[in-house]
Chain A
């Protein structure tokens, strides 16, 4: 119990976060991470990236527009499936591993279909 008293400032610091990111920003974050690992074995087959990966995926999903919002799949579903992709870090400066991206593709076929431009 005393340790909780000591650790509460640390817990408060880690809970510190900014405003909610818009759906378009979340979508572009996922696109960036998927394209960072598009050269990984098995990724390009599941997610044909085209010549310009990010431009292709943004065009397919429509999240290049600022007014984009998730409908199907929902925002919550995308955030849940995104978790393996941010295992290394929340900034895009640190790309996910190939294994994390393959887990994303396997565990979330509906979201993968969304980024392939198909109806989930």
Chain B
């Protein structure tokens, strides 16, 4: 019988809703490691090289190698369970149980003679003090004991548990062309104004453009057998510089014209100077005479001013970048 009552109490308490709060705390880093993989999709790339007055484009196909840097760290999942009112139930239940228990156990301390001061409507005397105390004791016990047990069980069910597990986080991602192989095909210079130039076939994976061709041809990107060719920032910048220098270095140096320009459009001439200065980075490019003439014109034409910001060739956003059509 006692076990049955206890089971009923525990089941009743088990239905009490609990507040549960879960939070995650990051622990120390256990290790870092690199994970390398290949995407398995070969794409055409081109590298550029300049030997003035020629721009050499070397075509290749390469896979994309992805390198991921990971950090493995410990992660604590902390779950806090609580029952609002459990402490109050223990407190009030404890007081009621104590008083009720005292009345029941100490009932012999009370008189057993009935209350003869009054007769109720059924013709009975009033209850004796012992009977009143016993009744009150049982009532208080029946109210206080379940509250006490419920509160204790709820307090026992509450608390904090911590579960530790491993977690992984990717810190950095890098994708670069890898395992290149020379590729031959038909190159289209596309994306320019007017009718597109005639397609050209590569020889040993190479296409050579002269400065004169670069000056006369209008194009923005390259296609190899119809597929967009990717160029890295460095190669794209070198090709754009070559095309710019092909324009700037084509005309003969005219000091008088430069002197006039230094007077009428000095800022424009300074910009031009920066472009010519970039040509000196191309091996073999005869940029020296023009650069000296511009410097002389600027020195004789007017007082020096702050040099303008050099023009920057177009740079695609992420490697591997390229003039993708």
Residues of A in contact with B (beta carbons under 8 Å apart): 9, 12-13, 16-21, 25-26, 29, 75, 79, 82-83, 86, 89-93
Contact = CB atoms under 8 A, between A and B. Distances in A.
A19 B135 contact: no
B268 to A, nearest CB: 93
Nearest to A89: B118
Contacts of B117: 91-93
A8 B122 CA distance: 21
Contact of A13 (B120, B122, B136): B136
A21 B127 contact: no
B122 A79 contact: yes
Given A9-B142, A25-B119, A91-B117, A17 B125 contact: yes
A86 to B, nearest CB: 6
Nearest to A87: B121
Nearest to B112: A18
Contact of B124 (A18, A75, A83): A18
Given A79-B121, A90-B118, A91-B117, A18 B127 contact: yes
B128 interface: yes
Interface in B115-162: 115-128, 131-132, 135-136, 138-139, 142-143
Nearest to A80: B121
A9 B122 contact: no
Contacts, number: 64
A17 B139 contact: no
Contacts of A17: 120, 122, 124-127
B103 to A, nearest CB: 12
A79 B123 CA distance: 7
B131 to A, nearest CB: 6
Interface in B88-126: 114-126
25 contacts: A9-B142, A16-B127, A17-B125, A17-B127, A18-B114, A18-B124, A18-B126, A18-B127, A19-B114, A19-B125, A20-B125, A21-B116, A21-B119, A21-B125, A25-B125, A29-B119, A79-B122, A86-B120, A86-B121, A90-B118, A90-B119, A90-B120, A90-B121, A91-B118, A93-B117
